[in-house]
Chain A
């Protein structure tokens, strides 16, 4: 009997394979990488270099990190939920389940790939911000920004897999992620810069959900007025809590086989084409 492949090589191969699938899906790549970038460009154009909001920085200095978070959340939360649910509909998860690949490696590879995509999206956004819009990056807060990004991405990856676990189909996963991410993005200050006039209930409401705890410290890390290294441990811990609960529930409810109705429907189509 030959050697079992090592976990490390399995993880590498699987992550590369997930990445390749992503970059060959034009829609996913567009919505994750270019859509947030477009919003950033439009907002920077509209708001110019006016300083606005409680943060007192230029629009670009605020929107670059805010839209970077939006892109990172799209790459993890939306992308993982939708692709995983569609892969289940197609029977791909079922086939993977029938191989000796440990399911944990398969899942971690999905998260690794999503994290790399998120990092790429953030990198593109910040680079364009710096090069074309004079966005400033501060050495003192780089580390806290990176840790916030890491914890945020892990949390939203877990939440994406939870949505995939509880969705009855790929379409359902798409609806759930859109119906949750877009309103929360508004409430959490991704599209609208919070000002002193922002109603306090929005503030209170948005603090329940993890997105606010991702955006706020990440944007603060790019605010010249931030003093110190920019650590916001309360937010990091609160996000982690969401992440841990999401992981537990996702494992509890995850299904590998397509829902029965779908299997029958696809089979019907298949045999119909065979008969004719």
Chain B
């Protein structure tokens, strides 16, 4: 690794804006990604994830703001830049008439450094399809091939736009281990996803984006104040028995479901269960939980309309 790699962020985005005619798809986004980091962009459909990623890849132009990737301006589409990046697009593009092996060979031949075709096929688990025409592959297999094509040039930085959409659970695990493997080689990864568990598993840092703006950034553990957020106690209760309830000021009642947000769960839980025993009430479905990344995400993106 050369010294400036250590000193400079791999990706630096400042006040990025993108308009499509009247549509403001990206409205002033800033973030930076360090070398060796896995950075996830999370957000609902139409939030602007692909727009941001494709500007960084050099596929789209920006309306305003500054973007620097590996010291390059992606908008110039320089060969030396594209030799250092790998791209997995959201929509798989297939040359249906060719075989898996042929396509990997052709794309590999474009790069100065390249990974061996056989190794790649094994890495993405397509050994049995080595000589199959691509049009005969299933949707998930095509996306695995895309993943192979994204890393065939042994890139320093990999862009993954929803890399595991359409994967079955075991293929998703496999893709995760490929990405883990890339990071252990010191590669930098920028990925977008809708899946909370994916962000949680893979990302060092997450940016949640909604409606073209970043609404939160942080590690998966601290995102949206998740680490300091109040514990949530929930249970079911009949309406007529609420009298004398100890922590009423923190409780919310919604069609029989009581939700208590507590800063002091040990004490509050003790009070609640004590009250229940005194009144001989059963706290049906009692649950104590910290907000999941999914809860935080839904709150941040304001969307029950999403999931």
Contacts and interface: CB of A to CB of B under 8 A. Distances in A.
Contacts of A5: 109-112
B97 interface: yes
A101 interface: yes
A137 B29 CA distance: 69
A270 B109 contact: no
Contact of B113 (A2, A101, A273, A274): A2
A26 B5 CA distance: 50
A98 B110 contact: no
Contacts of A100: 79-80, 82-83, 110-112, 153
B25 to A, nearest CB: 11
A98 B112 contact: no
A93 to B, nearest CB: 8
A33 to B, nearest CB: 16
A98 B91 contact: no
B166 interface: yes
B245 interface: no
A274 B166 contact: yes
A9 interface: yes
Interface residues of A, number: 36
A2 B139 CA distance: 34
A24 B98 contact: yes
Interface in B79-103: 79-80, 82-83, 85, 87, 89-95, 97-98, 102
B166 to A, nearest CB: 5
Please tell me the size bucket of the interface on B: 20 to 34
A272 to B, nearest CB: 11
A98 B98 contact: no
A35 B87 CA distance: 40
B244 to A, nearest CB: 47
Interface string A228-265: 00000000000000000000000000001110100100
Contact of B112 (A1, A13, A102, A263): A1
Majority DSSP secondary structure for residues of A touching B: helix
Interface in A187-230: none
Given A10-B109, A274-B166, A97 B59 contact: yes
A21 to B, nearest CB: 5
Interface in B165-183: 165-166
Contacts of A263: 91
A137 to B, nearest CB: 35
A90 B94 contact: yes
Contact of B93 (A14, A94, A101): A94
A265 to B, nearest CB: 10
Given A100-B79, A102-B79, A267-B91, A9 B98 contact: no
A20 B110 contact: no
A17 interface: yes
Interface in A84-131: 90-92, 94-95, 97-102
Nearest to A89: B93
A98 B83 contact: no
Given A98-B57, A100-B83, A20 B98 contact: yes
B275 interface: no
A24 B97 contact: yes
Contacts of A102: 79
Contacts of A180: none
B82 A267 contact: no
Given A21-B98, A92-B95, A95-B87, A1 B113 contact: yes
B7 interface: no
A99 B107 contact: yes
A266 B93 CA distance: 11
A92 B145 CA distance: 13
B170 to A, nearest CB: 16
A219 to B, nearest CB: 35
Given A1-B113, A90-B93, A92-B95, A257 B102 contact: no
Interface string B108-120: 0111110000000
28 contacts: A1-B113, A2-B112, A2-B113, A4-B83, A5-B110, A13-B109, A17-B106, A20-B97, A21-B98, A24-B98, A90-B93, A95-B89, A95-B93, A97-B77, A98-B59, A98-B85, A98-B87, A98-B89, A99-B107, A100-B112, A100-B153, A102-B79, A258-B91, A266-B91, A267-B90, A270-B139, A273-B139, A273-B166
Given A98-B57, A100-B111, A260-B20, 20 more contacts: A3-B112, A5-B109, A5-B111, A10-B109, A17-B106, A24-B97, A25-B97, A91-B92, A92-B93, A92-B94, A95-B93, A98-B87, A98-B89, A99-B82, A99-B110, A99-B111, A100-B80, A270-B91, A270-B165, A274-B166
